[in-house]
Amino acid sequence: MTTMEAVESAESLAAVAYLLNLVLKRVPAPVLRKKFSDTSKAFMNILASQAGSSSTSALRWVVSCLATLLRKQDLAAWSYPITLQVYHGLLSFTVHAKPKVRKAAQHGICSVLKGSECLFGDAAPEHHPAARSTAKFCVQEIEKAGGTKEATTTLHVLTLLRDLLPCLPAAATKTCCETLLRVMTLGHVLVTACAMQAFHGLFSAQPSPACLPAELNAQIITALYDYVPSESDLQPMLAWLAVMERAHINLVGLQKELCWGHLPRLFAAAMTCLLSPHPQVLSATAQTLKVLLSECVAPHVTDLGPVSTSASGPAASLCKMFRAVEEGLTYRFHAAWAPVLQVLRAFFEACGKQGHPIMRKCLQSLCDLRLSPHFPYTADLDETVGAAVGTMGPEVVLEAVPLGIDGQEETLDFPRSWLLPVLRDHIRGARLGFFTSHFLPLAAALKGRAMELAQDGKTLESKIYDTLQGQVWSLLPGFCRWPTDVVSSFKGLARTLGTALSERPDLRLPVCQALRTLITKGCQTDAERTEVGRFAKNFLPILFNVYSQPGDDGRNSAHRRAMLDTVRTYLAVTEQQMVCGFLQKASEKLSSPDSSEFTR
């Protein structure tokens, strides 16, 4: 300090200040508190003498030293006028004309309000003692700048507020937010952009209710609808969407019901954004809605129970949100059908289980849309319907959009046969009993029709029906992924599966895959494992028999590998005594002189 007061040249002063900046961070806090008066006075004198200097180096490092000094003060020190006086001296440099000095001051103020030692400990206050006066300074500086064309000072203060808003008490936060909204009415593009960044910083920080109560959060959301940019304004629209996304995510953490009450309006506004000519806006809008569904809706939708069109409260809000997105399937939004399908997929994933009563009409619209000539988004639509299958289940989906296939068709036009691969890829958590009661009879009818056509010499038609019955059987492994009724329904299916393994080579691969899936993903409880294991005495002999059948073609080889993998999997749920019995029989065959080389 003595050296700093003695040097004369700006370069020397900057060098000493730089060294002091490094050293002060390592000086014990009690020393800095004891020497605060003298040290701060020396720093303030240098700031005063160098404020108008063309060289910024000394100012930068002295500003940083002052911030370190203030950060080390205890709570008692902040009750003294001199401490606040020094702090406000530092605060005044946050709007300095020189960028490096200004940034150093802004960084210093943030470090004081966020990282002061008085904020940590048993008796720490919720907010820094200087937070209110800092907010007052920011508001005064913005009001002083008014509507000036350059708005330079306003931009500097808004940059500071972007980092400081989450540190303020609720009353100060409200005052600052009101000021932000006022300056946005000036129509200055940069000012509006900086104000939106400040709001984004506030919501992204997810501050405590002591800084941002739920009511204030909701009021800001409502106010921001007065500043919705035109769909053709790319950057402002992207900024607005980002702020509204973070605002609702923060609000749901503060008060879920209040957030849900605001979501329908945002969904309606976002759908208007999908009419934008900019692909970036379409993408950002879809992403915002998907994030809101994931963060604000999905974690709480189970509390609603089944949702119907006559629902009230949060369930009614969900209906409004879905209706808004469903409107995107109309031709008016045809240029945005791809992002609309993405959002619908997210909706089905988040709410399909509870919300399927209000979503059935949408499923019908999707299926009709897929049949429209030259529809370009079939892959996206299939994934969307697949998401519905995964959450609603195949029974609900097929009730809304039946396959329309029964084996008695007069023509070979199967407009909804595309549903079969979608079902195959997305069925999970369904009832095995539904496959037994619905799809087994359908597969049998299709196989019977294929055989009839083959006998009549209609080979092409026969192959089409045979392919369809194969697609129906390909659904079985999906039904074995986390089924809900293994104990009650497997016994009704087991005999059919055994017959298929023995007599239907074309079904061996899907049946083996289904058995392996059922054991690895469907048997979650001891009761389920016991029930499936009970049929080991039926399945294992069949599997062994098919495995040991001769044949060198590729199909038989693939079947043998599948059989062997299935045996290995089934042994995991088979009683030990039975395993030993099968091992004994296998050993006997291995050593028997009657066994062929292939059998061995």
- Distance between CA atoms of residues 213 and 208, nearest Å: 8
Nearest C-alpha neighbor of 446 from the set 475, 420, 472: 472
Per-position DSSP letters for 236-290, written without gaps between them: HHHHHHHHHHHHHHHHHHH-HHHHHHHHHHHHHHHHHHTT-S-HHHHHHHHHHHH
pTM over 0.85: yes
R_g over Cα of the chain: 36
- Distance between CA atoms of residues 288 and 235, nearest Å: 15
- Distance between CA atoms of residues 283 and 112, nearest Å: 39
Confidence (pLDDT) at 10: 67
CB-neighbour burial class of residue 173 (10 A; exposed 0-12, middle 13-18, buried 19+): buried
Find out whether 216 and 166 touch, Cβ atoms under 8 Å.
no
Find out whether 61 and 68 touch, Cβ atoms under 8 Å.
no
pLDDT in tens, 9-26: 667 777 877 888 788 888
Confidence (pLDDT) at 14: 79
Low-confidence ranges of the chain (pLDDT < 70): 1-10, 52, 54, 147-150, 551-555, 581-600
Confidence (pLDDT) at 600: 46
> Which own/partner contact pairs does 138-145 have at CB distance under 8 Å and 24+ positions apart?
138/164, 138/176, 138/179, 139/175, 139/176, 139/179, 141/95, 142/179, 142/183, 143/179
* Secondary structure (3-state) at 167: helix
Find out whether 180 and 158 touch, Cβ atoms under 8 Å.
yes
Confidence (pLDDT) at 331: 94
Which amino acid would we find at residue 162? R
Confidence (pLDDT) at 23: 84
